[in-house]
Amino acid sequence: MSQKTHEELMLGDSVDTILDAAQQMEPRISEYQFQREVLDILEFPFGKEALLRYSLYVGELTKPLHVVEDNNRDVILFSVPALVQSPTTTLLQKDGITVNGYINTLQREADLGGGMTVHKKLQDFMMTITQAPNYYNTVVVPIQQILSRYGRTMGELPGVSNTAVPQQGGQRSGNSFSEEYDD
């Protein structure tokens, strides 16, 4: 039997409990209701009317929609990904500069009169620690797979490439800290 850390003794399973409660609060819909009310929305999900209709089921377009068994809301059959994806923060490399250390360096540089480059350096730093998921692979492909499960297909998507872009370790497909953000 291994000895528990201080954090394990203090927190117990509270983190798991919090995460489970958060997942229970995410939108759920029975498969029957999903087939009757949501499938047609997902065939053309990005028009203004479709987004308004779909938001009634998820509340916010940043939330996934869990499709559950008709008779058991605890059994998730699959999830429709959030239609609006948020950039995620990546972890810095081991022994890399911390955010606090970097901010302190920028403050020191600004104090010495280097304020003109602070904005650019901060932008570059934020770009190294954030990434936006490839929208096609993260949202469009899973929706296409869900639709094909029910013998349906997704209509034309204006402005969305129909080619999957493979993600390679650490590469970003867009970034919210520059003008190059394309989602």
Do 6 and 67 share a structural domain? yes
Do 44 and 93 share a structural domain? no
Name the more confident of 6 and 17. 17
Do 113 and 26 share a structural domain? no
116 falls in which pLDDT band (50, 70, 90)? low
Do 68 and 19 share a structural domain? yes
**Residues, the chain:** 183
Burial bucket for residue 66 (CB in 10 Å: 0-12, 13-18, 19+): buried
The two three-digit tokens of residue 108, written as one number: 């020191």
Do 32 and 54 share a structural domain? yes
Do 178 and 101 share a structural domain? no
Do 44 and 61 share a structural domain? yes
For the chain, the domain total comes to: 2
Highest mean pLDDT among 75-84, 90-99, 105-114 belongs to 75-84
Task: Show the domain range for 117.
Answer: 89-128
Beta partners for residue 131, in sequence order:
88
Rounded to a whole number of angstroms, the distance between the first and last alpha carbons of the chain is 49
Task: Give pTM, 2 decimals.
Answer: 0.60
